[in-house]
Each structure stands twice: as structure tokens, then as C-alpha cells.
Chain A
Amino acid sequence: MQPAVTLRVTRYRPEQESEPTFATYEVPFRKDWVILDALNYIKDTLDGSLSFRWSCRMGVCGSCGMKVNGSPKLTCASFLSDALPGPIRVEPLDYFPVVRDLVVDMSDFMRKLKKVKPWIIRHDERPLAEGEYLQTPDQLDAYKQFSMCINCMLCYSACPIYGLEPSFIGPAAIALAQRYNMDSRDEGAPERLEILSEHDGIWQCTFVGECTKVCPKHVDPAGAIQQYKLTGAIHWLKSLLLPRGAR
């Protein structure tokens, strides 16, 4: 068994350097270690100044997304043993501004997420006394896949369209819009369609499909966007052909 493995980790210290550089660290190889364990080992014993985000260590919080050997991954869910022989390249997510080392600024995603109104919209709220909004298992099934998104932004980092056109609303935000559109309790689909059929919405997507491949929660944002395009096109056709529009 390999006793140690080398990690090449991006360092960017804006007060010292104007461009990121790589630092090389040697960490013990352990079969049960993920990339995040190796980074924590570096921080604890080799170099306390290395900065990176993490929280839950179990693929739920979506904080520890980084590029491992060139592809976007949750570092808590990528084993060292899968990235051998090394040196294993660990870089910050693509297309987001780098704040420091492996930490990117996610404000752009946060603004876009809010823009698609990812919450249940009702014309009239039912009084509490009338009880819950009931849903059948089939109705739950219609949107459940899209509700698994943990906002880790790996899909943005895999999307060359987002890199080339930073105004694109992007995979996760559209998948989450679809999550609420498909929810039987929601009535906000027309509002969201208006936002997402704008220039920066669904039509920017040219279906590269990598967002779906890198998604650690199998959300399938590429599918969500293509289905949304179909809905959008049908809506447009109806508004063109029917006298009272698609309402």
C-alpha cells in the first residue's frame, strides 16, 4: 500500500500575490480518507494558513465543492484512493471569483437563486384551521428529484456556458425553479416562467449536459432545463394561437 500521497493545492493570498499558485503537500495515505480529510490534515499539521470551506463531511451541506483532478467534486465524497496515484490536484471551483485559496465567492449564485423564487407561491393561503395541503406519493415523485439540490454549485463549475456568459441563471437555480413548478401545492409557475424565459434564462443553455454528470445528488439540472424549454415553447405557441393567450 502507498504510504503517502502528494496533493497539489491552489494557494491564493491576495495580500501577497496577484495570481494563484500551487503548493505541494505530502499527506499520509489512508484508505478511508476523502480529499477533505487530507485537506484537514494539511490545515492541522502542515500549514494552518490554508483556507477552504467545509461543514457536514457527509454530502449534505454542499460547502466543500472543489475541483479534484480537474473535475468538480464534493471533497467529502471523493476518496483519495479514487484519485491515485497523485499528485492529486485540488483547485477552487471554476467560474467563481476566488476569495482566497480554495474559497470562492458565491454571491452571484445566491442572487440568482433568489431571483427564481424558490418557495411555494399561493394566490390564496388557506387558513391554518383547514389543515395541511395534501399530496399523493405520485405528486411528490414529480418534483422530489429536483428538491435534492444542496446548492453546492458543482453544476455551475461544470457549465462552460456559465463561464462564457456569467449572466446565465444557471443549472441549479433553474432546477430549483422546476422543483417548485412541479409541486402540486405551488401556483407560481407563470411568474417563474416570465423570469426564466428572459435572455439570461433557459434559452442560454445549449445542453452541454455536464451539470447532470457532476451533480452529487442526481438532481439532473440539464433535464430540468430541457423540460422547462418544452414548457416555455408550448406556452409561447399557445399565446400565439389561442385568442386569450395561454392563461
Chain B
Amino acid sequence: MRAEARYTPYHPRWYRRRVSVWWWLQNRAYAGFVLRELTSVFVAFFAGVTLWQLRALAQGPDAYARFLACLGTPLFVALHAVAFLFVLFHSITWFNLAPKAVVVRLSGKRVPDWVVVGLNYAAWLVLSGAVAWIMLRGR
């Protein structure tokens, strides 16, 4: 090769296909990925509602009663049901992917993937149980 020979990034005769905006409908894996990314909107929704709840709590009993009444409307119940499904999808898909990122080695051997996944689910159960206990103990 000549010393001055150089790579031509935009060779006029090479064919380049544009990526379609519908690329994520090409196969189920891509669609699942986009759905998983979309779940972050609903996670943000839950976070927003929690902040709103804190604000209402700080404003006193009247504001909190208004907040609770608002949550009871059919619109909010429906929104919560949809958001819950998405957040469930979010949790399950990310828990199942955890062993890809977290590689634990004990005495030189890699801890099997199912143990990493299992610990995530176990932590989820324990924390959910703790929250349920705090919420329900007064009843």
C-alpha cells in the first residue's frame, strides 16, 4: 500500500442503508428492549406520585385527604394499574439481566447466574415484606 493511501469514510459507490424509525418492530427482542426502556416513564410516574404524597403530607391533614381522594378516582386507579404492570416488567427484566453486569467470584470460581438473580428476588421479597408490615401493622 502506498504511504499516502487512506481510508475513505464515504466511498461514493458503497451502499448505506438508513436505519428505519421502525427498527424496533423488526423482531421481538428489539420490541421487548424498547418496552423495557419505556418502563422508566412509569417508574418516574411512581416517583412523582410519591413526591406529591410527601408534599401533601407536609401541608397538613386537609391536603392529605384531598390527595387520597384524588388517588381514588377511576383515572388514577387505572393509571396505577397500568403503571404497576410496567414496573413489574421493569423489575423482572432487570433482575434477570443482573448477572450480566455483576460477576461475583468466590475463591476463583464464578458464582452461578441463578444465585445472583435469586438474591435479587430475595431482596425484593424481603423489602416488600418489610414495607407491607410497616403499612399493615396498625390495622
Contact = CB atoms under 8 A, between A and B. Distances in A.
B29 A222 contact: no
Contacts of B16: 97-98
15 contacts: A15-B13, A94-B17, A97-B14, A98-B16, A98-B17, A105-B14, A138-B108, A138-B109, A160-B19, A163-B23, A209-B97, A210-B30, A212-B100, A213-B29, A230-B101
A12 B97 contact: no
A111 B7 contact: yes
B15 A98 contact: yes
Contacts of A229: 101
B111 interface: no
A208 B14 contact: no
B95 to A, nearest CB: 13
A209 B15 contact: no
B13 A14 contact: yes
Contacts, number: 71
A14 B19 contact: no
A86 to B, nearest CB: 20
A223 B23 contact: no
B100 A12 contact: no
Nearest to A107: B7
Contacts of B14: 14, 97-99, 105
A70 B101 contact: no
Interface of B: 7, 11, 13-17, 19, 23-24, 26-27, 29-30, 33, 37, 97, 100-103, 105, 108-110
Q: Which 4 A-B pairs have the closest CB atoms?
A: A226-B101, A138-B108, A97-B14, A14-B13
- Range of interface residues on A (Cβ < 8 Å): 35 or more
Interface of A: 12, 14-15, 19-20, 70-71, 94-95, 97-99, 105, 107, 111, 136, 138, 141-142, 160, 163-164, 206-210, 212-213, 220, 222-223, 226-227, 229-230
Contacts of B26: 70
Contact of A95 (B19, B101, B102): B19
Given A99-B14, A160-B19, A230 B30 contact: no
Q: Which of A71, A138, A160, A229 has the most CB of B within 10 A?
A: A160
Given A163-B19, A209-B100, 8 more contacts: A105-B11, A107-B7, A136-B108, A160-B30, A207-B33, A210-B29, A212-B100, A227-B100
Contact of B15 (A97, A213, A220): A97
A222 B108 CA distance: 22
Contacts of A220: 100
B3 to A, nearest CB: 18
Nearest to B24: A160
A208 B101 contact: no
A19 B103 contact: no
Contacts of B30: 160, 208, 210
Contacts of A136: 108
Contacts of A210: 29-30
A223 B100 contact: yes
Contacts of A164: 19, 23
